[in-house]
Amino acid sequence: MTRLISWNVNGVRSAHSKGLLGWLDTERPDILCLQETKADPDQLPKELLAPVDSDGRPYRAYWASAKKRGYSGVAIWSREEPRSVSFMGVPEFDDEGRTLVADFGGFTLVSAYFPNSQDAGARLPYKLGYCAAMKETLDGLVAKGRRVLVCGDFNIAHKSIDLARPKENEGNPGYLPEERAWMDSFIASGYVDTFRMFDPSPEKYSWWSYRMRAREKNVGWRIDYHCVDSGLAPKVKAAAILDQVQGSDHCPVSVTLDI
């Protein structure tokens, strides 16, 4: 079995100061994908560049950083060395450090930090452009016979069940009609939201505002996903939201594959 965890840490240095490596040593996933790292590797201490658990077992760390320092960024920490690691290959998105693509043989993993469409949809065209480029990337891999898993912060609550107050948020970024329509088309085209394979219940969220005691009240959004192509779906054996884990305004989400 291969267990993967994805987590928007809202700053990897901040998460480190809040116990990221201790949590990692307890969870010990085979692969950890991080989003919104907000750091270049040259800004990080050795223990984040080459994480090692308390038994001395290392993780290999791979980074995609934004040209704008302290902004965006994703990473993959893996026990196994991938066959290859690359960016999306689209400069306007790679310049913001939004994507890593890692070939693990049995499947290709994409760690992604989808853009926020921002107030009044100020960055909605950029967001939808990224969504289209992501689907093109995944479709291209599937067309070559690859099984794919894309994980990370999609910055989209897909259905009304995926946020606490859907009516009040219909005009807000992350729940705009255009974003939900893209997610509809993405799922309809053959990709599977792994969490919903196992849990159809409401009030399951992965992000909460820092304001108004939202996390304490569970007034949240489910915007962090592991999605697989339909060919990989039979290999998915479990999926969960680790909503008791602190350290960010997001919590980690996990998936287990029989690979």
What is the H or E stretch that residue 16 is in?
helix 12-17
CA 227 to each of CA 50, 231, 255: distance values in angstroms, whole numbers, following the listed order: 27, 12, 10
- Which residues are marked as active site? 153
- DSSP H or E segment with residue 238: strand 236-241
* Residue where the block lists tokens 């219940």: 201
Secondary structure (3-state) at 175: coil
HEC string of 94-109 equals HCCCCEEEEECCCCEE
The partner residues of 221 in beta bridges, in order of sequence, read: 163, 207
Asked if 56 and 25 touch (Cβ cutoff 8 Å), the reply is no
For 55, the 3-state DSSP assignment is coil
Which helix (DSSP H) or strand (DSSP E) does residue 20 occupy?
Answer: helix 20-27
Spatial strand order of the sheet with 31-35 comes to 60-64, 74-78, 31-35, 2-8, 253-257, 236-241
Specify whether the CB–CB gap between 131 and 125 falls below 8 A.
no
Classify residue 239 by its DSSP letter: E
